Amino acid sequence: MKLTNKLKEARVAKNMTQADLGDKVGVTRQTIIAIEKEKFVPSAKLALELARALETNFDQVFWLE
Amino acid sequence: MRRDLLPYILSRIVLSLAFGGLFYLSGSSVWTAMLITGVLITLFLWAPNSGRYSVHPEYGITALRRDERTQVINDQAARNAFVAVMLLSGAALIYLRATGNPSDVIVYLKTILLAGVGVYYISDFALRKTQ
C-alpha cells in the first residue's frame, strides 16, 4: 500500500505557497514539493502537522491506496 | 539579508575568520587565508537560501536545522560513504599485503578518505534529485 496525498489541493485551497506551508511546519520548500509529488513519505508527526497547518482532517489529506 | 538571522551570520563570520586565521598560522599565505575566509562566509550566507536547511531564527546561532527529508538524505549519503570507505579499505589492505609495500599506506588512506567524501556528496546530490 502506498501513502497518497492531496496536499497540493489542500494548500492551494488555503491560498498558501509551498514556502508558507513549509515555514508553518518547520520544513523546507523542497520538502513540501517532494511530499506533494509523493517522492517523499512524511512521518506521522509531520503529516499530522501538515493537516493541522491546513486546518483540515488528516484523512482528507493523506490516505493509503 | 534577514535581520532575524544576525546571530547566525555574525557567529559564522567569526568562525570563518578563525578558520582563515588557522590557515595563516599554519603557514598559508595571507591571500590564501583571505580566500578561504571569503569562500566560507559566502557559503554560510548562501546556506539559509539553499533549500538544504529549514530556517528557525528563534534558535539564534543554530538557526539552520535539517528537516525530516534532508536528515533522511544525509543519513543515507553517510551510510553510502561509510560502506565505500570500508570496501576500499579492505581492497587496499589485500592489495598492500599482496604487493608488500607498506610505505604507500598514507597515500592509500588519503585517497580512500577522499573517495568517501566524494561518495557522500554524489549520494547527497542524487538523493536530492530522487527524494
Domain count, chain A: 1
Query: Which residues on A lie below 8 Å from B58 (Cβ)?
Result: none
Task: Please answer yes or no on whether B68 and A43 come within 8 Å at the CB atom.
Answer: yes
State the best of A3, A20, A21, A30 to mutate against chain B, taking most chain B CBs within 10 Å: A30
Domain membership of residue A16 (yes or no) is: yes
Domain membership of residue A59 (yes or no) is: no
The tens digit of pLDDT for each residue in B60-115 reads: 999 999 999 999 999 999 999 999 999 999 999 898 888 877 777 888 889 999 99
How far, in Å, CA of A29 to CA of A18, rounded?
6
Domain membership of residue A9 (yes or no) is: yes
Judge contact between B130 and B69, C-beta under 8 A.
no
State the average pLDDT for chain A: 93
The 3-state secondary structure of A15-50, one letter per residue: CCCHHHHHHHHCCCHHHHHHHHCCCCCCCHHHHHHH
Domain membership of residue A21 (yes or no) is: yes
Task: Please answer yes or no on whether A28 and B52 come within 8 Å at the CB atom.
Answer: yes
Residue B17: its pLDDT value, please? 96
How far, in Å, CA of B30 to CA of B42, rounded?
18
Question: Which residues does residue A5 pair with via DSSP β-bridges, in sequence order?
Answer: A62
Task: Please answer yes or no on whether B130 and A42 come within 8 Å at the CB atom.
Answer: no
Residue B104: its pLDDT value, please? 77
Q: So what's the ipTM on this one?
A: 0.85
Residue B51: its pLDDT value, please? 83
CATH number at residue A26: 1.10.260.40
DSSP alpha helix (H) spans, B26-63: 30-46
Domain membership of residue A19 (yes or no) is: yes
Query: Which residues on B lie below 8 Å from A30 (Cβ)?
Result: 51, 69, 128
Domain positions in chain B: 3-65, 68-130
The widest CA-to-CA distance across chain A, in whole angstroms, is 31
The residue assigned the cell 588512506 is B109
| Closest Cα in chain B, distance from residue A39 (Å) | 5
Residue B129: its pLDDT value, please? 87
The widest CA-to-CA distance across chain B, in whole angstroms, is 60
Judge contact between B77 and B127, C-beta under 8 A.
yes
∠ CA B64-A51-B70 to the nearest 5 degrees?
30
Residue B24: its pLDDT value, please? 93
How far, in Å, CA of B26 to CA of B102, rounded?
29
Nearest by CB to A26, from B56, B72, B131: name it.
B56
Q: What mean pLDDT do residues A25-47 have?
A: 94
The tens digit of pLDDT for each residue in B11-45 reads: 999 999 999 999 999 998 999 999 999 999 999 99
**Which structural domain, as residue segments, surrounds residue A13?**
3-53
The tens digit of pLDDT for each residue in B37-64 reads: 999 999 999 999 888 899 988 999 999 9
Domain membership of residue A12 (yes or no) is: yes
Q: Cβ–Cβ contacts within 10 Å for residue B127, how many?
A: 18
Task: Please answer yes or no on whether B67 and A43 come within 8 Å at the CB atom.
Answer: no
Instruction: Kindly tell me if the per-residue pLDDT of A33 is higher than 90.
Output: yes
